[in-house]
Amino acid sequence: MGIKIYNSLSRQMEDFVPLNPEHVSIYSCGPTVYDYIHMGNARTALVTDIIRRYLEYRGYTVKLVQNLTDIDDKIINRAAELGVSAKQLAQQNGDAFFEDSQRLGIHPADVHPKATEHIPEMISLIQTLLEKGVAYVIDGSVYYRVNRFDSYGKLSNRKPEDLLAGARVEIDERKEDPRDFDMWKAAKPGEPSWESPWGRGRPGWHIECSAMAMKHLGTTLDIHVGGEDLRFPHHENEIAQSEMATGSTFAHYWIHIAFLNIDGRRMGKSEHNFILLRDALDNYPTEVIRHFLISAHYRHPLDYNRESLMKSEGAFRRLSNCLDALKKYDGQLATDETTTSPLQHAVQEMKSQFTDAMDTDFNTAQALGAIFTLVSEVNRSLSAKNGTPPAVFAQAYHALNETCQVLGIYDAEAQDRDGDNVEQRDNLINLLLEIRQDARSRKDWDTSDKIRDRLKELDIEIQDTREGATWKIVS
Ligand SMILES: [Zn+2]
């Protein structure tokens, strides 16, 4: 069986056939950097990361492009509130986005284009659309003429009437049709602006993504990913602009990631009910947050609450205890090719269930189910001492490590590094205590106190007891 993707465009499950049999191109709409990202944004970023990791696991090379929208009304307004420049605010929040993504274990995209660094590409795309009669200029702004694109509404499955009724269309008397949207906004006083054939101004949000996607991935890409809220009008408009400009299909597969809810409502900045990713990462390990965010299939809503995170915490503990126990079998080779044991069967079963689940529209919830079924089997075999050959435990260890790495919910190397770091820290503190003891025997109280006080500043508290000095970490 090959990979199947639920294509938002056809509203059907489809066989995944990339343009090039070995390479996959993915464009993901990145954040508008006016603030830190919240857990809802993190869900979209994480699912994209896992789709990419899984495609690589299945042998594809992937080129992922994820943009940063670094010029936008929200950025301009927030910068004005804070009394900083839009550029400065976008830079700070862009840096924070990369920092948060890295903490969540998200691999960087191959290209992270910034809108402000692609103005010439946007201008030339708009010019093409003007030449084709699909756009018009009013007072230095350029609008897209929606009625020229017959398939407008194909992604969001809206008929022209619905588009008018349902959409929050900007009231602008100057537009030919209320559905028309701006690709270039004439400069307003005090706002950042760029030179263009229509006077100074700045790009609209939709043209940014069309231009950056096609610049870095060509006129047709395999997969376009984004949050559910971007389907209309953002993605609909991306299609309209790109397909009218090139005459080619813009993206073959559209993947939309459902909302993260909190108290039954969508988590969002406008709802004032969000949890910042960085705050969540201060309270829970990366693997726990990742486990939680993929514990539901990406097309299903997921509810953020303490119980769910505690469940993910428990799951992570079970997983790491199991892998810790299995680790000593790592490197055990099978001595007898014909060895069969129930655990060996369970390992094979897990691998094929994992692949089936992920092949079926990246069903991470089911993939986790397969992994944790094997964890239970391993624990049973470990405690039963029923003569499971060490080589089979080694197989289980490898299979779990490999699949967990695709999901990023356990990283054996990082765990080892953490373990090594802790050991090294302990050795260093003990060394300082020895030096302090030597100083005390020389009655060098200055050195002794200095070591105690400086360690205290690092939250390490020394206690002098009859048996010698001990230490503990305080916070
Ligand atoms: Zn976009």
Separation of CA 27 and ligand 1 centre (Å): 8
Whose structure tokens read 């964890």?
375
Separation of CA 289 and ligand 1 centre (Å): 25
Please name the residue ranges forming H helices in 385-444.
390-407, 412-441
pLDDT grade, residue 422 (50/70/90)?
Answer: confident
Contact present, 277 and 100 (Cβ < 8 Å): yes
Residue scoring higher pLDDT (45 or 336)? 45
Average pLDDT of the chain, as a whole number: 92
Separation of CA 254 and ligand 1 centre (Å): 12
Cα separation values, 279 from 103, 238, 289, Å = 11, 33, 11
pLDDT of 474: 80
Separation of CA 209 and ligand 1 centre (Å): 5
At 322-378, the pLDDT tens digits run 999 999 998 887 665 556 789 999 999 999 999 999 999 999 999 999 999 999 999
Give residue limits of the domains in the chain.
Answer: 4-279, 284-410, 414-473
- Residue 137 has a CB neighbour count (10 Å cut-off) of 15
Separation of CA 210 and ligand 1 centre (Å): 7
Opening angle at CA 117, ends 67 and 222, nearest 5: 35
Separation of CA 31 and ligand 1 centre (Å): 9
At 50-71, the pLDDT tens digits run 999 999 999 999 999 999 999 9
Separation of CA 229 and ligand 1 centre (Å): 11
pLDDT of 420: 76
At 212-243, the pLDDT tens digits run 999 999 999 999 999 999 999 999 999 999 99
pLDDT of 467: 79
Contact present, 127 and 83 (Cβ < 8 Å): no
Separation of CA 206 and ligand 1 centre (Å): 6
Separation of CA 84 and ligand 1 centre (Å): 25
**Across the strands, what pairs with 472?**
461
Contact present, 350 and 370 (Cβ < 8 Å): yes
Among 68, 77, 81, smallest CA distance to 41 is for: 68
Separation of CA 21 and ligand 1 centre (Å): 26
Q: Which CATH architecture has domain 284-410?
A: Orthogonal Bundle (1.10)
- Looking at the domain that runs over 4-279, which CATH code has it been given? 3.40.50.620
Separation of CA 118 and ligand 1 centre (Å): 14
